């Protein structure tokens, strides 16, 4: 974990890098006539982070529900190596308990010693809040507690469904540091988000889900390279225009500046999901 002094801190010394993790093969899930997942195959090896991207309704939350066992697939197989920790997008805490008591409550559920929860306070910037009633925390503080609860039992597979939704910058930084620490310590982390800079900051692998299917997977660099380049043209009257391409030949009249914009994960994602920059 990266603390304020930027030194690496381990969430759990018991984590060791290993094979395994999370594997889904040809997973299908239907809700009546609607197909939420249509033959999804996805692998998250131990010690890695895979960011699951996709528009609303693509099937991301359904996939997380199946991976953690809350939903049963209609077809396909799911293999999980070790205990699972999951933090859904909706915050789930006991508002009348303190931060430490929340962690104790979930430690009791999992049958782990209460003393283990202290290791989660610093990585999630909760040490100074440990004795504060959770219902009186800010939204960002509650989200950090919500994420910490998912890790009480030292899971080997961690599923985080938009863990920074609505979070402020400090909350986002704390959660991203914690996620990096989890992978460093050997956990397999599946991380869903709509905030693409997080994916690059995490150095995560990427899988893009669209209409219940994985339509692309790879590294940030490999997916970014699939996007068409963009020319940003500045005209003498101050107009700025973006158009596909990277060639500076045949520019229209009146252009006073032309810049090639490097293909990015955002550009690749927008192209893959059928959207374009305005």
The total number of structural domains that make up the chain: 2
CATH number at residue 138: 3.40.50.300
Both 186 and 238 in one domain: the answer is no
Q: Please report, for residues 151, 188, 236, the alpha-carbon distance to residue 84 in angstroms, rounded to integers and kept in the order given.
A: 9, 10, 58
Contact 120, 85 (CB under 8 A): no
pLDDT for the residue 247: 67
Q: Is the pLDDT of residue 212 over 90?
A: yes
Both 133 and 234 in one domain: the answer is no
Both 206 and 244 in one domain: the answer is no
274, part of any domain? no
Both 47 and 125 in one domain: the answer is yes
Q: What is the pLDDT of residues 145-194, one digit of tens each?
A: 999 999 999 999 999 999 998 888 888 999 999 999 999 999 999 999 99
pLDDT for the residue 268: 85
272, part of any domain? no
Tell me the sheet residues that pair with 276: none
Q: What is the pLDDT of residues 109-122, one digit of tens each?
A: 999 999 999 999 99
Both 206 and 234 in one domain: the answer is no
Residue for token digits 């999804």?
A: 40
12, part of any domain? no
Contact 177, 1 (CB under 8 A): yes
139, part of any domain? yes
Both 121 and 253 in one domain: the answer is no
Q: What is the pLDDT of residues 44-90, one digit of tens each?
A: 999 999 999 999 999 999 999 999 999 999 999 999 999 999 999 89
Q: Please report, for residues 38, 133, 190, 247, the alpha-carbon distance to residue 97 in angstroms, rounded to integers and kept in the order given.
A: 41, 5, 29, 61
Both 156 and 48 in one domain: the answer is yes
φ and ψ of 162, to 5 deg: 50, 60
Both 235 and 111 in one domain: the answer is no
Q: Supply the range of the domain harboring residue 147.
A: 21-218
31, part of any domain? yes
Q: Give the integer Cα–Cα distance in Å for 261 and 231.
A: 6
């Amino acid at each position: 974990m990266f603390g304020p002094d930027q030194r690496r801190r381990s969430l759990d010394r018991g984590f060791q890098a290993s094979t395994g993790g999370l594997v889904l093969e040809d997973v299908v899930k239907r809700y009546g006539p609607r197909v939420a997942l249509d033959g999804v195959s996805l692998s998250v090896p131990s010690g890695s982070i895979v960011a699951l991207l996709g528009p609303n309704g693509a099937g991301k939350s359904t996939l997380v529900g199946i991976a953690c066992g809350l939903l049963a697939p209609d077809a396909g197989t799911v293999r999980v190596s070790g205990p699972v920790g999951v933090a859904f997008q909706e915050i789930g805490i006991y508002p009348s308990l303190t931060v430490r008591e929340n962690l104790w409550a979930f430690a009791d559920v999992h049958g782990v010693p209460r003393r283990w929860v202290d290791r989660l306070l610093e990585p999630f910037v909760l040490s100074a809040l440990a004795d504060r009633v959770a219902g009186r925390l800010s939204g960002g503080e509650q989200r950090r507690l919500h994420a910490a609860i998912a890790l009480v039992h030292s899971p080997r597979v961690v599923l985080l469904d938009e863990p920074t939704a609505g979070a402020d910058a400090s909350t986002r930084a704390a959660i991203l540091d914690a996620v990096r620490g989890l992978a460093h310590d050997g956990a397999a982390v599946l991380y869903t988000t709509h905030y693409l800079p997080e994916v690059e900051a995490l150095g995560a692998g990427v899988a893009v889900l669209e209409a219940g299917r994985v339509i692309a997977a790879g590294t940030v660099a490999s997916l970014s390279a699939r996007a068409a380049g963009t020319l940003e043209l500045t005209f003498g009257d101050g107009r700025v225009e973006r158009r596909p391409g990277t060639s500076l030949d045949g520019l229209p009249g009146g252009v006073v500046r032309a810049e090639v914009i490097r293909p990015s994960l955002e550009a690749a994602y927008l192209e893959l999901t059928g959207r374009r920059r305005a």
